[in-house]
Amino acid sequence: MTPQEAWDAVLGELQMQLHRENFKKWLQPTRAISLNDDTFLIAVPNTFYAAWLDQKWRYQIKKTVASVLGRELDIKFQIGQQQPGPAESQMTAARLDCPQTAVTLPAAVSNLVSRYTFGNFVVSNNNILAHSAALDVAQNPGQTNNPLFIYGGCGLGKTHLLQAIGHTGVAAGLSVLYSSAEQFTNDYVASLRCHTVDDFRSKYQSPDILLVDDIPFLCGKERTQETFFHTFNERHNASRQIVICSDRPPKSLTSLEDRLISRFEWGIVVGIAPPDVQGRLDILKSKSANLPIAVPDDALKALARIPFRNIRELEGSLNKVTAMAKLSHQAPTGELVDNIFRDIRPAQKTEARSPEKIVEQVARYYDVTPQSILSKKGGRSANTIRHVTLYLLREECQMSLSDISNYLGYKDHTSVSYGLNKITSGLSRDQRLKETVHKITEDLHTATA
Ligand code: ADP
Ligand code: MG
């Protein structure tokens, strides 16, 4: 195992422990230099990183190294060559000084991460609508779906889809600007300071396709919202495509002006829900195909059963399994997966998946009371509601059949497995049922996002 492989295994673990932004900012740009009996030497981009990691994350890194490599090591940081960071973070770097042109004009192609293409995007029931809307916009920009507004929790593929639209546009010879609401704000402030408002306007007006990531950044920033409003109107009038990403639907952007929110709803609004077991398996299969080491189906299935909420965690888990398999000279089996993740499974359960939340959300969807779901009274429609509930309890909370039976007051678990079968087989042929389950799952996660 090379130092980099060992460090990758440590990073896989840290990715699951740390907040996404912290991981992306502080750990993603690091790489291993050397590893000997007592020291792990890590390259970082500059002295600031070295000091920050040393003060804030040394303990956690040390602990993780010890748990992954099985021995205590001293961690040292050294300034080294930086790995190219994600385009996203490079682009949000604030530039409030005045270079020759305050507003850097778009270099459309280099703004896009090369692997964020439609070809690399795994379509599953959690993202099928967002994917097809994105594809439609990419092929017919500025036409019916303008703007396209994509929302969903962190790490569910919004930026990936956004940039996939960009790649398709660039390939068709269109000009594309991928930006974030933060970059938009910085550009605007810089253009005021340096009297280059025209450059600013042209940067955001002229591209055929404008992709704006992380729109909630505008919340509470009235002047920038005003500017965004004008940018939006001018582009919309000229039938130039706008695509916006957000972690919440427009209506939940509470400190955004109403007129902006209503404009966001002019075109099409689509959500991406966290993947269910099948969705997670689809993604794991696709990602594992690119790994140097074969991961058998039973290991992938065992991983897919763990309720990771986003694709980043899923990717991290897969990397961790292959790294651990290598370290321990074992094949990456389902058993190894169970051993590695035994401890973190309960921690993954979030409030979104508590049984109470599920019953509450189902009740809201069908406009009945939670009590009516928990009691056995009622006719056929009540049965369907209870079946949908037990399906979600199983799917989202990984509850055992007998726990579900107790919770919903069934006689025994055979009634639960009957209900489960009904929903599972119904999902493959009944479009309405599919939409219902999809919508409740989506609400479940956006309600607590
Ligand atoms: P978001 O912007 O929603 O926070 P990203 O688009 O940054 O999420 O996705 C996080 C990671 O997961 C990226 O590496 C991305 O390529 C990957 N990813 C997300 N969804 C999918 C998918 N459906 N198929 C393949 N990879 C995905
Ligand atoms: Mg994103």
For position 220, what pLDDT does the model report? 87
**Long-range contacts, 130-135 (Cβ 8 Å, 24+):** 130/157, 130/158, 130/161, 130/270, 130/271, 130/272, 131/161, 133/268, 133/270, 134/161, 134/162, 134/164, 134/165, 134/243, 135/168
Running DSSP on this structure, what letter comes out for residue 113? -
* Per-residue tokens: 103: 């507003």
Query: Which of 278, 311, 446 is the best mutation target for the ligand 1 pocket, counting ligand atoms within 8 Å of the beta carbon and taking the most?
Result: 311
Q: Ligand 1 atom 10: the closest Cα is on which residue?
A: 155
Global pTM reads: 0.61
Alpha carbon of 312 to ligand 1 centroid (Å): 7
For position 428, what pLDDT does the model report? 76
Alpha carbon of 417 to ligand 2 centroid (Å): 38
For position 70, what pLDDT does the model report? 84
Successive 10-residue mean pLDDT values, the chain, 449 residues: 84 78 84 91 83 82 87 88 41 42 45 91 92 95 94 94 96 94 93 90 95 94 93 96 95 88 93 91 93 91 88 90 90 88 57 81 91 81 91 82 87 88 85 86 68
436, 238 Cβ separation under 8 angstroms? no
Q: Where are the alpha helices (DSSP H) in 289-310?
A: 297-305
For position 80, what pLDDT does the model report? 79
Q: Which residues partner with 268 through β-bridges? A: 148
For position 358, what pLDDT does the model report? 92
Q: Ligand 1 atom 18: the closest Cα is on which residue?
A: 157
101, 76 Cβ separation under 8 angstroms? no
Q: Is 155 in the pocket of ligand 1 (CB under 6 A)?
A: yes
